[in-house]
Chains A and B, each alone.
Chain A
Amino acid sequence: MELGFIVKNLKLMVRSGSENLTVDVNGGYVGDLLSDVIANSKQGDIWITRQIHQNIVAVATLKDLAGIILVDNNEPARETLEKAIREMVPVMVSELPCFETAGRIYQLIAAREK
């Protein structure tokens, strides 16, 4: 499913990488520990986190993740945003907490697969 569809459905606020919202998302990963995300996320995953430090952009590009969703209205740090714009990595802000954000996206993907 297109990332843009998730953005609309969850009313995510897109802070960077709007040129890459047509990317296909088939799964996701939830985590705040970078070592965990680096090791266990899969290419194309949407990453849900509360980390706002710019290293999340490095992790997302290294793992070819579809984008990063910051939960609970957490805004990216200024350097994070600058880097994400430069690297065209979608960083989005969800007003929902982590559990709800992940749950809704999971449902969207599961419904689509039926």
Chain B
Amino acid sequence: MPGKSADKKPSFSDTFSVVGGNFDDAGRVSSRIKGILKKMCLPFEVIRKAAICTFEAEMNIVCYAQRGDITLSVDEDRIVIEVVDQGEGIPDIDLAMQAGYSTSTAKIREMGFGAGMGLMNIDRYADDFDITSEVGKGTKLVMIVNITEGS
């Protein structure tokens, strides 16, 4: 993100790490981030969209990566959530984005994850969404939610 945001200093920025495979504490970072956004008194719908995107991204780190970092940056007119993980990566992003496509295990599904709707949800609720991935190395998501009054 450096360069892109050079002209606009974020008024808030913090990074949270997520441990892969730890389903017991899953959703912790999403809850933290939601709490921060709530304290900023952002519009309800903006927080809702950011919470959905962050939760799905966090769960994908837990399901498919060894670890990852979620960086939340907020400035006057948008929320940027950057998610970088060290994990298995995604061989075919177009396929992974399709509703219902999932490589999740039976164990993951038993807990209610792995419906193959995560990336689709992010695409639907983020105002801007970019995903890049390298097999065997990791995946990077940039999700943007615009802060517009009355949204």
Contact = CB atoms under 8 A, between A and B. Distances in A.
A49 to B, nearest CB: 8
A53 to B, nearest CB: 4
A108 B13 CA distance: 46
A62 B30 contact: yes
Contacts, number: 61
A61 interface: yes
A56 B151 CA distance: 27
B26 A55 contact: yes
Interface stretch (A8-16, A19-27, A32-40): A32-40
A31 to B, nearest CB: 9
Given A39-B117, A58-B28, A51 B56 contact: no
Interface size class of A (residues with CB under 8 A): 20 to 34
A61 B31 contact: yes
Interface residues of B, number: 25
Interface stretch (B4-12, B67-75, B118-126, B134-142): B118-126
Given A58-B31, A59-B27, A62-B55, A38 B121 contact: yes
A54 B24 contact: yes
Given A53-B111, A55-B23, A55-B111, A36 B31 contact: no
A58 B117 contact: no
27 contacts: A34-B112, A34-B115, A35-B56, A35-B115, A35-B117, A35-B118, A36-B115, A36-B117, A38-B56, A39-B117, A39-B121, A39-B125, A43-B44, A43-B48, A53-B23, A53-B111, A54-B24, A55-B26, A55-B27, A55-B113, A58-B26, A58-B28, A59-B55, A61-B31, A62-B55, A63-B48, A63-B51
Task: Please list the 4 inter-chain residue pairs (A to B) with the smallest Cβ-Cβ separation, ordered nearest first.
Answer: A58-B27, A35-B117, A33-B115, A34-B112
Interface string B21-42: 0011011101100100000000
A107 B49 CA distance: 31
Nearest to A59: B27
A79 interface: yes
Contact of B112 (A51, A61, A62, A63): A51
B24 A79 contact: yes
Contacts of B125: 39
Contact of B113 (A34, A61, A63): A34
